Amino acid sequence: MAKPGRMDTKITVEERSADSPPQNSYGEPSWSWATFATRWAEKIDKSGREFFQGGVVGEISCVFKVRYIDGVTQKMRIKCGSDYYDIVDIAEYGRQDTQELMAKIQDNG
């Protein structure tokens, strides 16, 4: 269970507004994002590979512990400050009490 006193980072969970993106003037996909939920979170920075429930989740940058967000999926992303993170995995604790959103920072290069 996440401790409310440690939830000191405001995040926004965003979802793509369409399944197939429009294209920009270069013919590249240009996704549009909309706010799905805004929450206070505990941000825990990680490095390297992360292991979860006996298997490798993959490369993650951090974990966001939040109060339960109904309907959040791995197709969404997290905005934290000026950074964007892809959701790699989601773990639920309790009966819709809290979640850990394991995330990888988006590569903008």
**Span 31-85, pLDDT tens digits:** 789 999 999 999 998 865 555 555 555 567 899 999 999 999 999 999 999 999 9
Q: Classify residue 92: in a domain, yes or no.
A: yes
Indicate whether 25 belongs to any domain.
no
CATH code, 38: 2.40.10.270
Number of domains in the chain: 1
pLDDT at residue 96, rounded to an integer: 83
64 closest CA partner among 106, 7, 107: 7
Res 10 pLDDT > 70: yes
Q: Say if residue 30's pLDDT is above 90.
A: no
Between CA 104 and CA 30 the distance in angstroms is: 20
pLDDT, residue 109, reads 45
- Residue 32's pLDDT is 84
Range of the domain at 64: 4-20+31-105
| Cα 53 from Cα 3, distance rounded (Å) | 22
Q: Are 85 and 33 in contact (CB under 8 A)?
A: no
Indicate the burial class of 64 (C-beta count within 10 angstroms; 0-12, 13-18, 19 or more): buried
Q: Which residue has the higher pLDDT, 92 or 109?
A: 92
Of 14 and 32, more confident: 14
39 part of a folded domain: yes
Residue 26 covered by a domain: no
- Which pLDDT belongs to residue 20? 63
Q: Could you tell me which of 107, 109, 101, 96 has the C-alpha nearest to residue 7?
A: 101
